[in-house]
Structure formats: C-alpha cells, structure tokens
C-alpha cells in the first residue's frame, strides 16, 4: 500500500509518501518539510497569523501535487497543538478542505500514540524502560514504555515556538540567562516525570530539536536520516552545542553545519527543555529518532 501522511505541526508542516507492508515502512517514496511557524503569535494573540496560514497553504499545495505525482493510494492529514488551540483555526481547515485535504485535529494523547509508533519503527526499545519525548512548536509529548505495562502518555502545552515568542533568542545569549529560563522548565518537567511515574533506562528524543542536535554533532552538510536514526548523543555534547549557539547570533547559527534554516532561534529553547529533562532523570545519553508522528501516521493510514 502506498500511503501518504501530512503532519501539520506548530513549527513545521511535513509530508511522507511511503510503501507500507505488514505494518512496516518498506520504502520511503517522497518526503517534504516546510517551516511555517503556525504557533508564532499564538501565545500573545490566540490565533494563527495570516502569514503562517499562507505558508502552510503553500506547503499543502505542493504536498497535493506530490501525492498525485507519486501515486499515493490513500492519505490523511492531522494537525496538532497550534491548530487545536487557535481561535481562527477554521480558516486554515476550510482552505485546506477546498484543496481536497481534510484536516483532522488530534488531541495530545492520539498524537503521543502516533509518535511512539513512529519512533519504534526506527529505534529498538525491546526490553527497555524507555521514555520518548517529542518537542513540538506548541506542545511536548511524552510516552513512557515499560515491559509488561501499558504505555503512559502525557502532553503539555510547552513548545519551542511558544518559548521563542516569550523570550528573544535572536542575538548573542548569556548562559546565566539560559539558566534562568530553565527554572520554570524544571517545574513543568518534574511534574511530567512524577505524573508518568517513570524511571527510564533509555531516553529517546524525536522531532526537530534532537535530530538537529545529531546533525550538528556529526557536522552534517547534507542531512542523512539513516545516520541520525538511533544516533546517541551525550549530555555534555549537547551542553557544548548550546554554548556554541548562544555565543553567536541567529544569522550566524545558520552557518553551523547541521543547522536547518528556520530553526536558528527555536533550537535553543528545545535544547533547554532537553537538558533540563536529562538533569531531572539523571540520564547522560540521548538516543535520537528521525521517525515520529509522520511515520506513525503513514503506517496507520496504510492499515486503515
């Protein structure tokens, strides 16, 4: 079955077209991704900006063309935090509908389940107590898996676009300032760890923050999904990357090998979340997954 999945996130819109057999992705036919920052004014205005809606619609038009070109037999589009929360999300949903793309707005629990399904198709968690976290633009999802136990899931309205709207990450940054930002993060993440009652021996990060960290650590000029999937990065390596990025402006960060355009300001809040979570858990290693919601969704579409 050739299926397509569209993930309309709070920071980026992503497409995957893949051949799926027996619940597994056997061939990735086409992928595309556009940074649209749907959540850029959500915290202050409670709406999706006109500019972000236009960017998203431009991306969806390209996705529709690609699905036709590559012969997708079935497709589905889901939207997450920003569209869930915005008062004017109907504008985007109706415009996409006129394009023939019906958007399903999913809650955090469904989102977390799809993320875990996608991650497990890339990273082996067999026999491990694994905590998966996915930092989005408007929310972060957590899934704790322990052998013999039902998975525990939690979604919190904490994301990198929201944080970038609250704090200015565009210039050279003081590390003491970063420590002050981490203080409220501790409260949120400590509650998450307690609510999930988790003691993982494996921490897995999906979405743009961990994958970009992996790409930067490997000095990637051209992103390589195969090398990123399953890559292990140490806490002290992440701390060094944070120091390096804080010492230069957002424009200069674009010159760092592995840095994706559009992530030069939102990567730093993602790193702060990651480091605070690792500190709370006492974990020194992060396993990176390039696969996440989009991959879990494409499998679900094929199996529908």
* pLDDT tens digits, one per residue of 46-61: 899 999 999 999 999 9
* pLDDT tens digits, one per residue of 181-224: 889 999 999 999 999 999 999 999 998 899 999 999 999 989 99
For residue 166, name the pLDDT band (cuts at 50, 70, 90): confident
Among the ranges 70-79, 112-121, 291-300, which has the highest mean pLDDT value? Answer: 70-79
Give the residue extent of every domain in the chain: 2-106+293-303, 110-289
CATH architecture of structural domain 110-289: 2-Layer Sandwich (3.30)
Check pLDDT > 80 for residue 304. no
pLDDT at 111: 86
Q: Which of 152, 160, 157 is nearest to 132 (CA)?
A: 152
User: Is there a common fold for 2-106+293-303 and 110-289?
Assistant: yes
Domain 2-106+293-303 coded CATH 3.40.630.30 = no
Alpha-carbon distance of 10 to 297, in angstroms, equals 17
Q: What is the mean pLDDT of residues 7-25?
A: 90
Task: Supply the DSSP string of the chain, one letter for each residue.
Answer: -EEEEEEE-SSEEEEEEEEEETTEEEEEEEEEEEE--TTTTHHHHSS--HHHHHHHHHHHHHHHHHHHHTT-SEEEEEE-HHHHH-TTHHHHHHHHHHTT-PEEE--HHHHHHHHHHHHHTTS--TT--EEEEEE-SS-EEEEEE-TTS--EEEEES--HHHHHHHS--SS---HHHHHHHHHHHHHHHHHHHHHHT---SEEEEESHHHHHHHHHHTT-SS--HHHHTT-EEEHHHHHHHHHHHHTS-HHHHTTSTTPPTT-TTTHHHHHHHHHHHHHHHT--EEEEES-SHHHHHHHHHHH-
Please, are residues 3 and 302 in contact by the beta-carbon 8 Å criterion? Answer: yes
Q: What is the mean pLDDT of residues 62-69?
A: 97
| Residue with the larger pLDDT of the pair 148 and 249 | 249
Enter the pTM of the model: 0.86
pLDDT at 58: 97
CA distances from 102 to 93, 95, 146, 188, 225 (A): 7, 9, 35, 34, 29
């Amino acid at each position: 079955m050739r299926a397509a999945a569209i993930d309309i996130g709070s920071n980026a819109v992503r497409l995957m077209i893949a051949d799926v057999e027996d619940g597994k992705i056997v061939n990735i036919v086409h992928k595309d991704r556009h940074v649209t920052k749907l959540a850029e004014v959500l915290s202050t205005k409670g709406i999706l900006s006109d500019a972000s809606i236009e960017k998203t619609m431009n991306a969806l038009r390209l996705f529709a063309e690609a699905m036709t070109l590559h012969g997708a037999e079935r497709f589905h589009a889901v939207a997450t935090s920003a569209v869930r929360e915005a008062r004017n999300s109907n504008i985007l949903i109706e415009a996409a509908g006129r394009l023939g793309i019906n958007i399903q707005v999913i809650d955090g629990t469904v989102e977390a389940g799809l993320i875990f399904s996608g991650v497990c198709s890339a990273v082996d968690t067999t026999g491990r107590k694994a905590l998966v976290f996915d930092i989005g633009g408007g929310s972060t999802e957590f899934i704790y898996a322990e052998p013999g136990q039902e998975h525990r899931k939690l979604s919190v309205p904490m994301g990198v676009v929201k944080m970038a709207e609250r704090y200015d990450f565009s210039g050279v940054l003081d590390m003491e300032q970063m420590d002050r930002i981490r203080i409220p993060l501790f409260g949120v993440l400590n509650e998450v760890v307690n609510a999930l009652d988790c003691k993982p021996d494996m921490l897995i990060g999906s979405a743009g923050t961990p994958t970009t960290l992996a790409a930067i650590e490997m000095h990637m000029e051209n992103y390589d999904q195969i090398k990123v999937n399953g890559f292990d990065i140490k806490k002290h390596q992440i701390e060094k990357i944070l120091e390096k990025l804080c010492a230069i402006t957002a424009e200069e960060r674009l010159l760092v090998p592995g840095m994706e355009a559009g992530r030069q300001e939102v990567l730093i809040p993602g790193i702060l979340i990651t480091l605070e979570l690792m500190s709370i858990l006492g974990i020194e290693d992060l396993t990176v997954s390039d696969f996440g919601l989009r991959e879990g969704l494409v499998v679900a579409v094929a199996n529908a």
